[in-house]
A and B are shown apart, each in its own frame.
Chain A
């Protein structure tokens, strides 16, 4: 289970309150990208994008790694946890629905079998 604490929550909410930063997360959920790529995609200066990535990094939503002159950004643990939790919420709903559907399907099937037996008689 994910442990929430106040500092982390505040950092997450602050990080997510900005449309560009949400866009960056969405972009990174598709593929890792360099700061230069991100700056280009969001029509922003390198300095501006560095600031946004910094905010996301402090909230553990993004991690970055520098290789030579390129800094690559990818989704951080926190973002991956959020994504897993999101999928899990959907899975719970559909599991509950489909478990109920399964019971009805079983009932219909045995009813059909019983009807077929009756007809044969």
Chain B
């Protein structure tokens, strides 16, 4: 992968994940671009849908409605070969501060997280910090198991387990 000319390659392109407490997950990454550009990719549906569902996950995004303003709603519908029915993810933007901060809720169940994303620009680069706060420990433990994104990984793991047992 080509590295940007500026900035240390070690700090760039690295996604750090930390379980901050029994109900919080924090993900950080620095992008080699000013905050307004990074924010644009989070707040314009046509851009957002190109990265939120990575190819490796095997899911397709059937629809992506995002009303990115404080109090606005979002709704994503996914399909996956392993599901009979498409799955919907939806919630509300609690706070939208352009180029600085996004806060949204996840409302498919009462176990959904509140996600806060901050964009901090420094010398032309932007540190993105994503913070998920779950209502209970169990909800965080099951965040991947229960979410559609996690399923293929879970299946792969299950396959591994089953292969080991036979």
CA distance A30 to B130 in the complex (A): 22
Interface residue? B164 (CB, 8 A): yes
Partner of B15, one of A9, A91, A108: A91
Query: Are B22's CB and A29's CB within 8 A?
Result: yes
Beta-carbon contacts of A77-103 to B below 8 Å, as 1s and 0s?
000000100110111111111111111
* Per-position 1/0 for B143-165, Cβ under 8 A of A: 11000011001000000110011
Given A90-B27, A100-B50, A105-B33, A9 contacting B13 (CB threshold 8 A): no
Query: When chains A and B are docked, how far (Å) is the Cα of A87 from the Cα of B140?
Result: 11
The residue from B17, B141, B153, B160 contacting A94, defined by CB atoms under 8 A apart: B17
Interface centre among A5, A29, A92, A112 (most CB of B within 10 A): A92
B8 to chain A, nearest CB (A): 15
Contact status A91-B17, CB under 8 Å: yes
CA–CA, A81 to B17, complex, Å? 16
Query: Is A112 touching B22 in the complex (CB atoms < 8 A)?
Result: no
Mark the stretch among B52-60, B62-70, B77-85, B92-100 that contacts chain A. Answer: B52-60
- Contact-size category for B: 35 or more
A96, B57: Cβ atoms closer than 8 Å: yes
| B10 CB to nearest chain A CB (Å) | 15
User: Is A41 interfacial (CB 8 A cutoff)?
Assistant: no
Question: B38 touching A105 by the CB < 8 A rule?
Answer: yes
Q: Would you call A97 and B52 a contact (CB within 8 A)?
A: yes
Decide: B57 and A104 in contact? CB cutoff 8 A.
Answer: no
Give every chain B residue within 8 A of A109 (Cβ-Cβ): 32-34, 37
Judge whether A37 is part of the interface by a CB distance below 8 angstroms. Answer: no
Partner of B33, one of A30, A91, A108: A108
Instruction: Determine the distance from Cα of A105 to Cα of B16 in the docked complex, in whole angstroms.
Output: 19
Q: State whether the Cβ of B29 lies closer than 8 Å to any Cβ in chain A.
A: yes
From B13, B22, B149, contact of A102 by CB (8 A): B13
Chain B residues at the A interface, C-beta cutoff of 8 Å: 13, 15-19, 22, 25, 27, 29, 31-34, 37-38, 40-41, 47, 50-52, 54-57, 128, 130, 137, 141, 143-144, 149-150, 153, 160-161, 164-165
8 A-B pairs closest in CB distance: A96-B54, A100-B51, A101-B51, A91-B17, A95-B15, A4-B164, A109-B33, A105-B33
Contact surface of A with B, Cβ cutoff 8 Å: 3-6, 9, 26, 29-30, 83, 86-87, 89-106, 108-109, 112
